[in-house]
């Protein structure tokens, strides 16, 4: 076999492992705080866009609206995740001891 | 390639349509402008402007990603690549009293055709609407996905 193709195959096999190792290295609390940080950042971004529009720095209304929609969707996703987590917690607390 | 890819593509299209609209309004506003540019001490009339659109592809990274994931080519958004000038000849109008008239009494008027501009205007406005509809549909899909299991 051509050495180049062998290298490519090995690279392809290794790629998923690398990805998985970076994913599993962070603890749950790290992942959670990262997600919350991202959500906060998107809220701040949309706020900044609105402020720029009002101050006349940005001229595109649709970009402001899209930023607001994006942050709204991210917030709703976070609410869904919270609901699921609370639901799981309550399910466990209802266990008979 | 995040979850907001569709929204970003629609956003680029909305921006491009806004630029098209700006160019059309400039064309209509200057439909009678005889003094737009000074060339060798003589005033030239306004030349009609046109917008050139092209697909956004993010260069090398875009192609590498396509080759590695073998998902096929997911096209990106649209952007205004160039604003060109229409090279068609100016209209000659007989106005001997105008200060811009030549020795035969003719004035060069801009090569703007109001009918064509109105058609372009409708086209830009409807394209904008179509892209807003696409954007709302992608947003609806994301919101529906959040309802899974509720």
pLDDT tens profile B11-63: 999 999 999 999 999 999 999 999 988 888 888 999 999 999 988 876 777 77
φ, ψ dihedrals at B103, nearest 5°: -70, -20
From the list B4, B11, B139, the residue facing A63 with the nearest CB is: B11
Mean pLDDT for chain A overall = 79
A residues 8-67 lying closer than 8 A (beta carbon) to B: 60, 62-63, 66
Over 50: is that where the pLDDT of A9 sits?
A: no
pLDDT tens profile B73-130: 666 789 999 999 999 999 999 999 988 888 899 999 999 999 999 999 999 999 999 9
From the list A62, A63, A73, the residue facing B142 with the nearest CB is: A73
CB atoms near residue A43 (< 10 Å): 17
* Closest residue on chain A to B68 (Cα): A12
pTM, two decimals, is: 0.77
Check residue B50 and give its pLDDT: 94
pLDDT tens profile A13-26: 444 444 444 455 57
Over 50: is that where the pLDDT of A97 sits?
A: yes
Angle between helices A61-93 and B114-146 (to 10 degrees): 10
> For residue B18, which residues of chain A lie inside 8 Å, CB to CB?
60, 62
Mark yes or no for CB contact A70/B14 under 8 Å. no
């Amino acid at each position: 076999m051509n050495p180049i193709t062998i290298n490519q195959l090995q690279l392809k096999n290794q790629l998923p492992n690398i990805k998985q190792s970076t994913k599993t290295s962070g603890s749950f609390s790290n992942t959670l705080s990262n997600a919350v940080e991202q959500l906060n950042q998107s809220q701040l971004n949309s706020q900044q866009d609105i402020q720029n529009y009002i101050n006349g720095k940005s001229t595109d209304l649709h970009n402001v609206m899209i930023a607001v929609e994006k942050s709204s969707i991210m917030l709703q996703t976070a609410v869904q995740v919270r609901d699921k987590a609370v639901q799981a917690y309550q399910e466990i607390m209802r266990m008979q001891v | 390639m995040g979850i907001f890819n569709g929204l970003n593509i629609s956003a680029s299209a909305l921006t491009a349509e806004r630029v098209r609209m700006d160019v059309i309004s400039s064309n209509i506003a200057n439909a009678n402008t005889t003094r737009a540019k000074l060339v060798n001490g003589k005033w030239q009339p306004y030349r009609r402007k046109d917008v050139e659109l092209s697909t956004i592809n993010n260069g090398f990274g875009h192609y590498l990603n396509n080759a590695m994931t073998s998902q096929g080519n997911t096209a990106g958004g649209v952007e205004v690549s160039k604003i060109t000038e229409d090279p068609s000849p100016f209209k000659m109008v007989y106005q001997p009293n105008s200060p811009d008239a030549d020795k035969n009494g003719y004035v060069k008027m801009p090569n703007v055709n109001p009918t064509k501009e109105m058609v372009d205007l409708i086209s830009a406005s409807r394209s904008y609407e179509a892209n807003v509809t696409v954007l709302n549909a992608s947003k609806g899909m994301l919101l529906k996905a959040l309802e899974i299991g509720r």
